[in-house]
Structure 1
Amino acid sequence: MQLFSFPKSIPSPFRLTRIRDLPANLNQDTVTLKDLLGDPLISECWEFNYMHDIDFLMSAFDEDTRHLVKVHVVHGFWKREDLSRVTLHEQAARYPNVALHAAYMPEMFGTHHSKMMILLRHDDTARIVIHTANMIVRDWTNMTQAVWMSPWLPLMKGPSQQENVHEAKPGSGAKFKVDLLNYLRAYDSRGRETCKPIIEKLMRFDFSEVKGALIASVPGRHKLNDSSPTRWGWAAMEQALKTVPVHQQAEIAIQISSIATLGPTDNWLKNTFSRALSGGRGVSLSQPPPSFKVIFPTADEIRKSLDGYASGGSIHTKIQSPQQVKQLQQADKSAVLDSGRKRAAPHIKTYIRYGNKSHQTIDWALLTSANLSKQAWGEAASAPGGSKGKSTASSGDREVRIASYEIGVLVWPELWGEDAAMKATFMTDNLGDSRGGEFTEQEGKVTVALRMPYSLPLQPYDNAEVPWVATTNHEEPDWMGQVWRVE
């Protein structure tokens, strides 16, 4: 008997969230919070985020069982008098099954910005959900957001085997598990036991079906030569990308909802952040780096968005200094290949490396909570104690300072097969669907779809366009007749 190998198309590992005020044809394959939490078998939920609406969160659980779900909310409001903390406690007091946990926040300018849910079910399965939305109504209705979900993970068979954590391959379930547990352990610094219960439970689960590398940040000073197998911030990206095959004539597109002040010069952006993202398997420093483009909405796009100026409150940058103006001179918008998200203001954060300028192939894609900032990704490597260690500190002595909690998932084609390819898809999660992108049948080859949150190709701002700046007055009315004034 002759066996034939058929082509295979893999649905997008990233899912877009449903937009309330868009028609059904623009919401194909999307997910809602109720899709994620409405399973009546869910027994426990750990919810990590920056902003929280407990009433909204609880409304997403199954109506008949929500009072039985053990809900743990992890937040970053460490000041007892913080109005957000006070409101959170007032809301949680209405639900006997909700427990609040304040994250360990050692950095003054850091935030608890990670967006993740860990779900446990009564059938002894677990799921990790990493996404981009705050746990508030506005973020889950009319703003562009995305979600990565692990499969439902079973319990490990037989006695737990201690794996060699230093040999776990980037992108494998074993490495993902190691890094996730190390991330959770960061909450338990200095004798705390915030996440100890969920750590002990997750250790029993089999992560082997997970495809993706966890890219996370935790606050503190982290040595680049310590014995931990887990790196944080830009160092985590640098470590993971060493195993990822990439094309040479590449372009990296960064879509974020906030751009911080990155310093008086572009040294950090060029020599630390961009350099970390430019790596790949076999890439040498002598090779030309990929070009970088930043996708950021214009003021006019915010005016025309479904929520008008109201959506602009979640999108932040400044133009108060020459360096901030320079940062935005390379911003882009998108057009032509329609993602169906033009009117849904972006709160999503994606970092995507295209294998060529025509965006026909994708080398890797990162979905994350991290915006473009040193607080999220980490300062440049320095000598211990904070002094910049150029010639005085050896590479073994260097450390990275991070201020915030962030979390994301990096995927690339090879995770689905040695010769696999990844291609953009529009308005659907599947290649070959109408508007879904071309699926070229090659015998035995795997093609992975990547659902695009923006349209292609990217177009630079024209002379009449300006970026959205929430700290500036916008007197031109939005489509609902409202103006934006900063008090």
Structure 2
Amino acid sequence: MNIHPGNCTSTDGKQVCPYKEKCYRRNPIHFTEMSHPHLEKLVMDQLDGTITVPPRLDFECSDRSTLLDQLKILQMVLRKERDRNDEIGTGQTSIEDKRNSIRNIPQFTNSIPQDLKDKIDRNKKIAVERREAKLREMDKRAISLSKPSTSDSSDLTMATDSKSLIKDDVSNETWSKLADRIKKQKLESRNEMTSTLGLKRNSEHFDQDSESSKRFKNHQAIENRSNKVGGQAGGASTSNGNSQLGDQEPDLMTAYAGSTTSALRNEMRLKVIEKIRSSGIKMSIVEPGEFALKYALSAPYHLFFTRVEDCKETHDQQFSLTFPEILDRSLGEIVSSLQINFMLDAGWLCAQYLLAGQSSDMLILYGEREDQEKLPPNIKTIHIKMPTFGCHHSKLMVFKYRNNGIRVVVSTANLYSDDWENRTQGVWISPHLPRLPDSANTSDGESPTGFKKDFERYLQKYNLPDLTEWVQAIRKADFSDVKVFFVASVPGNHKDAEHNAWGHRKLSTILSQHVTLPPNAPEWPIIAQCSSIGSLGPNYESWLSKEIIPAMCREKNQGLKSHPRFQFIYPSINNYKNSFDMRKGACCLPYGLTTHQKQQWLESYLYQWKASNTRRDRAIPHIKTYTRISPDQTEIPWFVLTSANLSKAAWGHKRGNHYIMSYEAGIIFVPKLVTGNTVFNIKRETPDGTPRFPIPYDVPLTRYEAQDKPFVMEFFKGYE
């Protein structure tokens, strides 16, 4: 690493960290922007191996654990730079050059010489040219691979499935016109397009009713069933979808499912990408192998928001991601997956694995199914039967990797295209969780937050034999690097040992044990934000101030404190009119007018959806979050990301004991466990180098104006 005399700038444009050997930052972004010669000297010979700290150091170090974390982050950054430079070719400072020059750091200068600026400009031009050439070569290869031979032409023939591929442009049509228009479009496209993503579909399965109408009705009738009260014992029915397509040759997706090596999967992937491009289907394709660095840079929170397809500003954000990135091979080779969700489009889900080049061996637990695809034998689906008015609403993923490790993902998005295109969703991705030694006890490898025990208990509540291997995988994994709490809901009237294990009582227990607020805690309002609202009762005191607010007020130093203000972010009709969903005739806000008319008192607590800071103003929020915020709008003491909307069915209420009707899953970020501080700063990086905590909406919040009304489904029938 060459340093110019007279200023703190290295030859590759990085400024030398002014704290030098005293830098204790663990913010990955800091290491991409600043040079640390004393650390780079240790990492240069360990770029591809396991990082170790030598017994003797030539600088003072009082915390070797922090040093090891810094070296791991720097290893990822430098390895990425090396690989990029190897791809670009000559003209870049090589890692070997850095290794040879880092030992002698000269004095500093005040400016970068002109010849270096010229060199940088030349290298940028070379990089662009080489990248364009590489893309052209990839296109040629994809085209050659996509040309069918006599033996594989049937692989490239697929039935029509325009449900998730063609969207209509809708302005301000009424509900009935919208349904008729989409119905007509689907019938026409059925005869014109060949799906490049789904499996072969039998014509008798095609629903002559509007799929869009069906989707709205599903959301309103199913996701909002939490507005009602009732319940019976639930169960599960299985449908492994293992039936084959008669004597026909397997379609492309079935052929992909049978690809046992990464090389074969990559070849099939290129064929499909070429068909996507040639058919004119609009779909963003992210090249695999790039996500590991983005994941490292998201430390210590590992919290992401889904990319908004129609807002290009979100495409390059460090905290934006697409579904195939979750599956990215840079995180490991997936051998099997567990998907737990509410709404499922199995064809779309399979396509995500194909685009990522990963094995599609999968067990899927779902509540409602959007498609009727006949699935290949390596995919098994189980429909979770609910009590009368409950909802299987959790959104979880677990991946097993070739190296025997696993990873857990908690999200707010359903498994179909609309939820991953132009909506605001949240996704938390766990660290890689390695397998424990065979000699380890089942209680070993626990997270400081008890995540492992709580997650295992959640899976066992399904009482499904198919989950046995996944429960075993959890038991054998080392969760010690997980720094968030798991908070879930399962149907039942919970008492005794289970009384505080679920819903808002679990949240209350965690906050009372781990959260510390200042004496002015009553001045820290509670902010709730979600995409649907249950029946909350005739007034604020019926349930919110009686159960939810007390639960979210809990802290270690409880004392006698008054309740804080309650602020509720829910999209208004104007929010929806200006959204991408409105333009495409879609909706994810299943709140009904009948329910709202019984609780109009709620309007005095409502705030608009505003998200200009994250460039998601027009991306309707399907994300669900809960937190508190300091009076100066800069700090929060905890943060919840969850599938649970604001409803009794999701969080529970006092009915005998603690009565819950739905399955839900989420996580709780508590500063003490994540950063060692008592609060998260949401505005800026802290002096110790901790990055700001990413929240999806703007603060301060924006109240509803007098003419504003919350969005209700009857909007599509002309109500405003």
TM class by smaller structure: 0.7 to 0.9
SS state of the match for residue 215, structure 1? strand
| Structure-2 change in CA distance of 1:229 and 1:176 (3 Å) | farther
Asked if 1:184 corresponds to 2:459, the answer is yes
Asked if 1:353 corresponds to 2:628, the answer is yes
TM score, norm. by length of structure 1: 0.80
Partner in structure 2 of residue 394 of structure 1? none
Partner in structure 1 of residue 17 of structure 2? none
Asked if 1:41 corresponds to 2:322, the answer is no
Take 2:576 and 2:645, find their aligned partners in 1: how far apart are those partners? 19
Asked if 1:423 corresponds to 2:681, the answer is yes
Q: CA contact under 8 A between 2:449 and 2:484: conserved in structure 1?
A: no
Partner in structure 1 of residue 228 of structure 2? none
Q: Which has the higher helix share?
A: 2
SS state of the match for residue 702, structure 2? strand
SS state of the match for residue 406, structure 2? strand
Q: CA deviation at 1:124?
A: 1.2
Q: CA contact under 8 A between 1:259 and 1:373: conserved in structure 2?
A: yes
Question: Which structure has more RCO (C-alpha within 8 Å, separation ≥ 6)?
Answer: 1
Partner in structure 2 of residue 72 of structure 1? 363
Q: CA contact under 8 A between 1:302 and 1:311: conserved in structure 2?
A: no
| Structure-2 change in CA distance of 1:458 and 1:257 (3 Å) | same
User: Which of 7, 14, 25 is 2:303 aligned to?
Assistant: 14
Take 1:474 and 1:64, find their aligned partners in 2: how far apart are those partners? 40
Asked if 1:239 corresponds to 2:509, the answer is yes
Q: CA contact under 8 A between 2:412 and 2:643: conserved in structure 1?
A: yes
Asked if 1:122 corresponds to 2:402, the answer is yes
Does 20-29 or 175-184 show the bigger shift?
A: 20-29
Partner in structure 2 of residue 434 of structure 1? none
Asked if 1:302 corresponds to 2:583, the answer is no
Partner in structure 2 of residue 427 of structure 1? none
Q: CA contact under 8 A between 1:20 and 1:141: conserved in structure 2?
A: yes
Q: CA deviation at 1:65?
A: 5.2
Tell me how many residue pairs correspond in the alignment: 421
Deviations 1:85-134 (A, max 9, x none): xx65x31x2322110112253x2100100001111111111110000011
Q: CA deviation at 1:330?
A: 1.0
| Structure-2 change in CA distance of 1:156 and 1:149 (3 Å) | same
Take 2:428 and 2:408, find their aligned partners in 1: how far apart are those partners? 8
Matches within 5 A, 1:138-157: 138-157=418-437
Partner in structure 2 of residue 51 of structure 1? 343
TM score, norm. by length of structure 2: 0.55
Partner in structure 2 of residue 211 of structure 1? 483
SS state of the match for residue 293, structure 1? strand
Asked if 1:447 corresponds to 2:697, the answer is no
Partner in structure 2 of residue 80 of structure 1? none
| Structure-2 change in CA distance of 1:31 and 1:350 (3 Å) | same
Q: CA deviation at 1:274?
A: 1.1
| Structure-2 change in CA distance of 1:326 and 1:448 (3 Å) | same
| Structure-2 change in CA distance of 1:336 and 1:202 (3 Å) | closer
Matches within 5 A, 1:383-398: 383=656
| Structure-2 change in CA distance of 1:238 and 1:448 (3 Å) | farther
Partner in structure 2 of residue 250 of structure 1? 524
Partner in structure 1 of residue 160 of structure 2? none
| Structure-2 change in CA distance of 1:340 and 1:405 (3 Å) | same
Letter in 2 for 1:244: V
Letter in 2 for 1:35: E
Partner in structure 2 of residue 4 of structure 1? 22
Partner in structure 2 of residue 161 of structure 1? 441
| Structure-2 change in CA distance of 1:311 and 1:251 (3 Å) | farther
Take 1:217 and 1:210, find their aligned partners in 2: how far apart are those partners? 20
Q: CA contact under 8 A between 1:38 and 1:62: conserved in structure 2?
A: no
Asked if 1:411 corresponds to 2:669, the answer is yes
Percent identity, aligned pairs only, is: 28
Q: CA contact under 8 A between 1:338 and 1:456: conserved in structure 2?
A: no
SS state of the match for residue 472, structure 1? helix
Aligned-pair RMSD on alpha carbons? 2.6
SS state of the match for residue 178, structure 1? helix
Unaligned runs of 5+ in 2: 1-19, 28-298
Matches within 5 A, 1:429-440: 437-440=683-686
Question: Hey, which bits of structure 1, 4+ residues long, moved more than 6 A?
Answer: none
Q: CA deviation at 1:13?
A: 3.3
Asked if 1:94 corresponds to 2:390, the answer is no
Letter in 2 for 1:146: G
| Structure-2 change in CA distance of 1:376 and 1:178 (3 Å) | same
Q: CA deviation at 1:418?
A: 3.3
| Structure-2 change in CA distance of 1:270 and 1:229 (3 Å) | closer
Partner in structure 1 of residue 545 of structure 2? 270
Q: CA deviation at 1:173?
A: 4.6
Asked if 1:198 corresponds to 2:198, the answer is no
Partner in structure 2 of residue 221 of structure 1? 493
Unaligned runs of 5+ in 1: 78-83, 384-398, 425-436, 476-483
Partner in structure 2 of residue 341 of structure 1? 616
Q: CA deviation at 1:69?
A: 3.1
